[in-house]
Amino acid sequence: MFCPNCGRENPIERKFCVSCGTNLEAVSQALSGSSDDFFTKTDNALDQFLAKYAEHVFKDAPASANDRTIIKSWRILGQSILTSFVDLILFSLMWNILPLRFIILLISTPFKLVSRRSSRQEVITGEIVDSRTMGLPEPLPNRGLPSTVSSITEQTTEKFPDRLETRQKEVANLDASE
């Protein structure tokens, strides 16, 4: 449908123009000369509602609801009935799976917590656990890295001992002046 205000073409299912916002439903009713009575509006609203419900199973249901033919209304009704059966099956499935998952968590949680606590205790007490007994792979040897790495401050104080002494004197003078 072309918008009478701006001339842009809009899909039939649009109620308002995409570019200017003109009410296309009112324009369509004015051009067709028909005004919908209460039952027609109710019928259309029910089709829209059922199509929106059936949308999560039948993706094209809302587009079908805008076509106001009897066959489309029956199709939407059938799609919503099938959707309710799918929902009923999913609901009954979830009604059985959720309590099962709850019971499994209820039983397994204390064992997992005790296991986690005991592994923390091993780390806290400083026990050395051999990686072979835990099933972990052997660590890779250090290639090209020195066995001990000195820190930056150690190297700085070794290279600049006179700078360290002057800095200590400056700090002592500042403390004394305060």
pLDDT the model gives residue 87: 92
* DSSP of the chain: -B-TTT--B--TT-SB-TTT--BHHHHHHHHHT----HHHHHHHHHHHHHHHHHTTT-TTHHHHHTS--HHHHHHHHHHHHHHHHHHHHHHHHHHHHHHHHHHHHHHHHHHHHHHHHHHHHHHHHT----HHHHTPPPPPPP-S--SS---HHHHHHHH-HHHHHHHHHHHHHHHHH-
The total of structural domains in the chain comes to 2
Greatest mean pLDDT among 27-41, 42-56, 136-150 = 42-56
Residues 31 and 78 in one domain: no
Say whether both 82 and 97 belong to one domain: yes
Instruction: Kindly state whether residues 14 and 78 are assigned to the same domain.
Output: no
Q: Where a domain ends, among 100, 125, 150?
A: 125
* pLDDT for 92: 92
**Considering the domain boundaries, does residue 53 fall inside one?**
yes
The pLDDT value given to residue 10? 84
pLDDT in tens, 109-125: 998 888 888 877 665 55
Name the band, by pLDDT with cuts 50, 70 and 90, for residue 81. very high
Residue 110 covered by a domain: yes
Can you give the pLDDT at residue 91?
Answer: 92
Higher-confidence residue: 129 or 118? Answer: 118
Partner residues linked to 38 by β-bridges = none
pLDDT at 167 over 80: no
Asked whether residue 163 is assigned to any structural domain, the reply reads no
110 and 45 together in one domain: yes
What range defines the domain where residue 79 resides?
37-125
> What percent of the chain has a predicted confidence (pLDDT) above 70?
68
Confidence check: pLDDT of 148 > 80: no
Of 38-52, 105-119, 144-158, give the range with the top mean pLDDT. 105-119
Inter-residue contact 54 to 61 (CB < 8 Å): yes
In the chain, the amino acid numbered 43 is D
119 and 68 together in one domain: yes
Tokens of 7: 């001339």
Whether residue 83 contacts residue 91, with contact meaning beta carbons closer than 8 Å, is answered with: no
Tell me, yes or no, whether 111 lies in a domain.
Answer: yes
Q: Give the pLDDT band (50/70/90) at residue 135.
A: low
Q: Are residues 74 and 88 in the same domain?
A: yes
**Same structural domain for residues 52 and 77?**
yes
Looking at the fold, whether 104 and 115 belong to one and the same domain comes out as: yes
On the question of pLDDT at 3 being above 60, the answer is yes
Query: Is 76 contained in some domain?
Result: yes
The pLDDT value given to residue 103: 93
Contact (CB, 8 A) for 105 and 113: no
Is residue 148, in this structure, part of any structural domain at all?
Answer: no
In terms of domains, do 45 and 3 share one? no
Q: Look at residue 106 and tell me whether its pLDDT is greater than 90.
A: yes
pLDDT category at 133 given cuts 50, 70, 90 is: low
**CB atoms near residue 76 (< 10 Å):** 25
Q: Are residues 15 and 81 in the same domain?
A: no
Q: Is the pTM of this model over 0.85?
A: no
